[in-house]
Structure formats: structure tokens, C-alpha cells
Amino acid sequence: MKITSADFVRGAEDRKDYPTGNLPEIAFAGRSNVGKSSMINTMLGRKNLVRTSKSPGLTRKINFFLINRVIMFVDLPGYGYASVPMEVRRSWAPMVNTYLNERSQLSGVVVIVDSRREPTPLDEELIRFLQFRSIPFVVAMSKADKLGQAERATMKRAMLEKWGSTISMEFFSAVSGFGKKPMWKRLFEFERDWRARSDTEIKNIEKQTEPR
Ligand SMILES: Nc1nc2c(ncn2[C@@H]2O[C@H](COP(=O)(O)OP(=O)(O)O)[C@@H](O)[C@H]2O)c(=O)[nH]1
Ligand SMILES: [Mg+2]
């Protein structure tokens, strides 16, 4: 997709602050410092739309970005960073849970995992939650430039063994741009399937409200 516009819309802590309207949303989630902001910037071909940080754990809001006026990217706060104050850690789960549980515009989630390590318990918890709720997701194995081809193959095999062959995953590097094209393909599938589901819903409502 040629990115013609990418604008920060707003940051929200509470559902009442989510943007209105009915555009499909793609959420990005992952441990602090995993490369989430870098990935969003690379996907959009922007250097600094989303601030990358040397002091992780400071993004405490759900940040919404409007892309080409047709789709929203949603930057969820990073989780699991030890030095984040306790009260922030306690607010993380309800904030993100509310969004993932209630947001009907959510079309899919990109779960970003460091490709050099096994997913952390929090990564696993998120993946199991998305599976349980049947929310479409793709696992992005970040910082793939730090792995050779053989190491990527080993990591992929371990992931498929653990999660089953149906899990959707892509290696990604914000540094080299590796994996950008296949990742966009997944995002388009999320968007397309979401639009198909909401069209069906609208047709069903129309059918129910048709005069007899
Ligand atoms: N080698 C490499 N480093 C990366 C990549 N993506 C992010 N980083 C580095 O990882 C650190 C955290 O990145 P950031 O995007 O702020 O992570 P976030 O906390 O998940 O948003 C920064 O120092 C980045 O430069 C990547 O694809 N390859
Ligand atoms: Mg970040």
C-alpha cells in the first residue's frame, strides 16, 4: 500500500476516549523494547511517526493512528518491563483487556515477539487469549536482522512445534525492512475479513428490520 497519510489521532486510557467512527483497526502488541514502535514506523515508511524509545515502558496510552484515512493502526502499551512503576503495571492489563475485549473495529492483532528468544510467559498469555477469543492475529518475529537464515529456520520450527502449524507468523526487521511485504499482506487480510464480517452484520440487521 502506498502510504499517502499517517496521522496521530489520539491517545486513550479509557474506552470513552477511543476515536469514534467505524474504520477497521490493526493493533500492535508486545513486550516493551521488542521493536513495536520501530515496526509501525517501518510498515508506514515513516521515520518517527511513533516515537521509539531508549527508556521503554513509558507509552502508557493506547495510541491511534489514521492511515490513508481508511484504516487505523493502534499502538498498545508495551508490557512486562520490570522497572515500570507498579501502579502503571496494574493499569496495563485492564486498559489493554478492555480494548481487546470490546473493540468491534478490531480486525487483527500483530503480536511482536523478539525473534532471538522464545516468547515470554506474557507473550504466550496474549497469544492464548487471542486464540480463545478467535481474534485474528499474526506473530511478528522482530529484529530478524540479528539472525541468520539457519537460526530463523530453527526458531520457526520451535514456534510451529509449540503452537501448531496453523499459527500465522512472519519474521520482520525494522532495520532492513525484511518481511514488510508479507506483513502487509496479512494486514490486508485482517482488513478484508473484517469488512466482510461487518457487511454480513449490516445485511442481517437490514433483513431483521425489513417491513413484512
Ligand atoms: N537490530 C534491530 N534493532 C531494532 C529493530 N527494531 C527495533 N530495534 C531497536 O530496539 C530498541 C527498541 O525499539 P522500539 O521500537 O522503541 O521498541 P518498543 O518499545 O517495542 O516500541 C531500539 O533501540 C531500536 O533501535 C530491528 O528490526 N532490528
Ligand atoms: Mg514503543
- Mean of per-residue pLDDT scores for the chain: 89
Report residues near ion ligand 2: CB below 5 Å: 36-37
What SS3 class is residue 30? strand
Q: Specify the CATH number of the domain 6-209.
A: 3.40.50.300
pLDDT digits 0-9 by tens, 167-192: 999 999 999 999 999 999 999 999 99
**Burial level of 200, CB count in 10 A (0-12/13-18/19+)?**
exposed
Q: Among the listed ranges 77-91, 109-123, 129-143, 195-209, which one has the minimum average pLDDT value?
A: 77-91
Residue with cell 518517527: 48
pTM (2 d.p.)? 0.91
CA of 88 to the centre of ligand 1 (A): 22
